Amino acid sequence: MSVQLNKYFKYGLVILLSTALILFTQQIKLLKDPASTPVEWMTIMGLLTLWLFSMIGVLLSDLMKKTPIKILQEFPMLGWVAVTSLVLCMCFDFFVEAIGYVDFLAITTPILTFAGISVVDRLVDLRKTSWKVGIVAVFVFTGTYVGSALLSELGLFLANK
């Protein structure tokens, strides 16, 4: 049990670090452009809300791993956090309001910073991949994006939106 608690404590700290970095980024954005999203008391409430939803999602994801239903077991943790947030935001408008005080782009910069650090050891692996797959990758990425965009465009047209 104490190992379990220790694990969640660690997760909690990392998520707290993430929210603190968001606050930092939002402040830097403000220095660069005073017209961007201000840092207010509600921003802190918004960040705490994001932390809380993340933690609930983590717990939910672990709980679902114990259910016998395969699709629930395999549904990613990122998805559980989004679902938790969606449900709680439907129930309480306050959460939507508070989260609205957190600048969206300020959330993304710290994540991509750590994403960059996490992949550096894979740069060497790039040599193992063939340039042919590199070309194919461009068409694969374009394929899924353009495919979905064409169907969405058609669908929205048919729905008269």
Partner 1 sequence: MKRNYVILLVFALIVITAAEMIGTQSLSFGAFSVSLLPLAFAILITMILGLPFVRKGFIKKIYSKVNVQFSSKYLIFIMLPLMARYGADVAPQLKEILNVGWVFIAQELGNLGTVLLGLPVALLIGLRREAIGATLGLGREGELAYISEKYTLESKEGQGVLSLYIIGTLFGTIFFSLIAPIMLDIGFRVEALAMASGVGSASMMTASSATLIERVPEMESTILGYAAASQLLTSFLGTFTMVFLAVPLQRFLYNKLTKTKKQPEVPADVRAAE
Please give the residues from 59 up to 78 whose contact with partner 1 meets the rule CB under 8 A: 71, 74-78
Q: Which is nearer to partner 1, 33 or 41 (CB)?
A: 33
What is the token pair recorded at 126?
A: 């790039």
For partner 1, the closer CB: 39 or 54: 54
Note whether 107 and 22 are within 8 A (CB): yes
Q: How far is the CB of 1 from partner 1 (least distance, A)?
A: 21
Give 58's contacts (C-beta < 8 A, 6+ positions apart): 8, 11, 15, 77, 80, 81
By beta-carbon proximity to partner 1, the closer residue of 3 and 121 is: 121
Is residue 4 involved in binding partner 1 (CB under 8 A)? no
Return the residue of 42, 51, 62, 64 that touches partner 1, per CB under 8 A.
Answer: 51
